[in-house]
A and B are shown apart, each in its own frame.
Chain A
Amino acid sequence: MKNPYEILGVSNNASDDEIKKAYRELAKKYHPDNYVNNPLADLASEKMKEINEAYDTILKERADAKSGGYSYSSGNADYMQIRNLISSGNISAAEDMLNRVADRGAEWYYLKGLCAMQSGNYNAASSNFETASRMDPTNPEYAKMSERFRGAQNMYGSFGNRQNSGVSPCDCCSQLLCADCLCECLGGDLISCC
């Protein structure tokens, strides 16, 4: 299969929200309901299959990375307990335990960030996630959380990577892909390899 990110027309480090949005838009376009009684229905359903496969692949990849992340974090029993406390919503107990930890590595900052997030302290949360990712750039779990903020900054913030015209390199690719499909539907071929 081609690069699933290319199929959806997003970059490799697009946020989960951007991926979902791209999938939704493409799914709307190629949905079989749009092609009922249309001689080109089979082409649309092929495209739909490709899009679904790409989306499933990306989600699975990211889910695997996340659960893989558990083995990344220290097998430290204290941290496991703190995670459980956070999942059950007992933030004050989790914070108490965290504050008693002397050795503060990336995992500590990540858990501190989760506590802040649940308590609605988003500035503290963002800062803690940044620190965790900086201390351990390979950890996908930490990256995922700091990406939630970075992704938002790219979309809406003043210091992100979005250009005001709203055109990104992805637009170019997806437009070429569409042009290629159109060409192939009409009997020609714009891009020979797809």
Chain B
Amino acid sequence: MFGYVKTYPPEMKVKEEKVYKAIYCGLCKEIKKSVGLFLTPALSYDFVFLAIFRMAISGEKLNIKKERCFVHPLKKRNVTVDSEALHYTAKMHLILTYYKLCDDMADPDTSKLKRIIYKLYIPFLKKAIKKIKSDKAYLEFYERIGNIFSEMNEKEKNGASLDEMSKSFGELLAAVSSHNLSDDKKRIAERMGDMLGRFIYTADAADDIESDEKFASFNPILAEYKSFEKAKEHFPEIDMVAAYYIGEMKLCLDLIDCDPIYEGIMDNIFDFGLGNTLKKIMDPDNIGISQNNMNQETDKNPKKEN
């Protein structure tokens, strides 16, 4: 989706980093399998988080094998295999990417170049989507996601607030995180997804204010404060609520009894990764020297990955 849910490598244990990479590779392979080898839309880190959370909450054991990859053919890599959570996350990735691409195609502001690329992707996605829709367990879910997307479009047209928009995106991720779970696990996953969705939407909205102002695109923060300069003055308030969402996600994590390796990775994301994302958006001039020098990744812009 947006690439905001990342780890913070300087604080990761080496073994956690290895497992994280193996899950990333596993997910990428799984997505390629479901869509087809060549035209796989970019995998963003956010889905890797969803996969890890799914593994954690369903108590899945890690199964890592050394396999080859088409994109990196020279050396065999650690890849997570035989994972129900990865099958699941790949399906989610497919559904959300398909809706997003359709959304972008319908949006008159989308660039010509993007349209050409999407026109190539969409038929492949359509085929895979048809397969998903034929599965009873996913059809209703697929339609529910579609409804939430439509709702969001309506809200945009009517100029909704940041709260209203984040609420919808929270609802979306709550559904994505909790589908096919039951009872307590479902409730925890829904809460986690809700807070995560709100966080991602808020971070993305704040990140996009400047460009949305230039291209006259809808942005709830811009709608409230009228200009990028004015909106910046209110960043501390927006930052505070985004931080609240992170705290709430941690509370969800506390309620899950899971393999410490998953917990370690998610702790890193909540304690450092999300805060780092936030800081680069809210207070980019004050990033400390420890981050700039130690970790190359933090130098990259946290912009959309598609």
Contacts and interface: CB of A to CB of B under 8 A. Distances in A.
Interface residues of B, number: 36
Nearest to B202: A123
B239 A123 contact: no
Contacts of B282: 157-159
A125 to B, nearest CB: 8
Contacts of B238: 123
A80 to B, nearest CB: 27
B29 interface: no
Interface in B260-293: 270-271, 274-275, 278-279, 281-283, 286, 288, 290-291
Interface stretch (A6-14, A58-66, A135-143, A146-154): A146-154
A157 B167 contact: no
Given A123-B161, A123-B163, A164-B291, A152 B198 contact: no
A158 B241 CA distance: 11
A117 to B, nearest CB: 10
A158 B283 contact: yes
A45 interface: no
Given A156-B278, A164-B291, A126 B239 contact: no
A151 B241 CA distance: 11
B241 A155 contact: no
A17 interface: yes
A155 B239 CA distance: 12
A157 B162 CA distance: 18
A124 interface: yes
B59 interface: no
Contacts of A165: 290
Chain A interface size range: 20 to 34
B53 interface: no
Nearest to A165: B290
B269 to A, nearest CB: 11
Contact of B270 (A122, A150, A153, A156): A156
B245 A122 contact: yes
A164 B8 CA distance: 12
> Which of B243, B270, B286: most chain A CB closer than 10 A?
B243
Given A156-B274, A157-B278, A123 B237 contact: yes
Contacts of A159: 235-236, 239-240, 282-283
A57 interface: no
Contacts of A120: 163, 167, 170, 194
Interface string B143-162: 00000000000000000011
Closest 8 CB pairs of A and B: A157-B243, A152-B247, A121-B163, A156-B246, A158-B282, A156-B243, A152-B243, A158-B279
Interface of B: 161-164, 166-167, 170, 194, 198, 235-247, 251, 270-271, 274-275, 278-279, 281-283, 286, 288, 290-291
Given A120-B194, A153-B240, A158-B282, 12 more contacts: A122-B163, A122-B198, A126-B237, A126-B241, A149-B243, A153-B239, A153-B243, A156-B274, A157-B242, A158-B235, A164-B288, A164-B291
8 contacts: A120-B167, A123-B161, A123-B166, A124-B163, A149-B243, A152-B240, A156-B275, A157-B239
